[in-house]
Amino acid sequence: MNKKFLGIIAGVAAIGSAIISAPANAVEQEVQVDITIQPTMYLRTFSNVSLQITQGDLGAADKDFDSVNTTTDGSTAIDQTNPTFSGGSQTQVTKEVKELFAVWGSNSNAVNVTVTATEDTLTNTDGFSQAQITNVVATGENTGTPSPINPIVGGADITFDLTNASSPGQYTGGVLKVEALAQL
């Protein structure tokens, strides 16, 4: 009986090892690969965009004319009555960058230039206040057919949300991506 029992155990072990060592059913699929080689283009832009947002941009009164002496002959003293300071109520400000990029091309393909925010949060030097880039629109000649001597030149309108920008000072950290793609 021991021999029969050992024989059964040896048979089960052989079947078990055969199951473990048998290859699993494989599933495979071939996938097509395509690439697009863009025509030769050259993009020039700035490494930094530094904009000023004034209280006037926020809708606050930040200037006036001398109401006592409207004209000077070069020697008239200016009215030094203290103005009334007030904060602006606008939280959205759009600033224009007239020229942000130039693109040259070596063929007759039309080019489309887009400007997007890849990092939309700007933080004040105080570390707490933040401004957000909420919209970026390429302006000017952002589509056209550039040549080796005549680039297409354009800019951008950048909209900022200043709801959480509670402190004056410099805000940094925003990043724009300027991308030129040929229309093939």
Q: What is the pLDDT of residues 105-146, one digit of tens each?
A: 988 889 999 999 999 999 999 888 999 999 999 999 999 999
- What is the CB-side half-sphere exposure of residue 165 using CA atoms within 13 A? 26
d(CA 122, CA 130): 6
CA dihedral 64, 66, 70, 72 (to 10 degrees): -120
pTM of structure: 0.74
Tell whether the model's pLDDT for residue 102 goes beyond 90: yes
- Furthest C-alpha separation in the chain: 130
Pairing of strands 41-45, 111-119: unpaired
Tokens of 14: 């052989």
The proportion of the chain whose per-residue pLDDT surpasses 90, expressed as a percent, equals 57
Structure tokens at 79: 């009215």
pLDDT, position 12? 55
User: CA-based angle 171:175:176, to the nearest 5?
Assistant: 130
The confidence score (pLDDT) of residue 155 equals 97
Eight-state DSSP code of residue 45: E
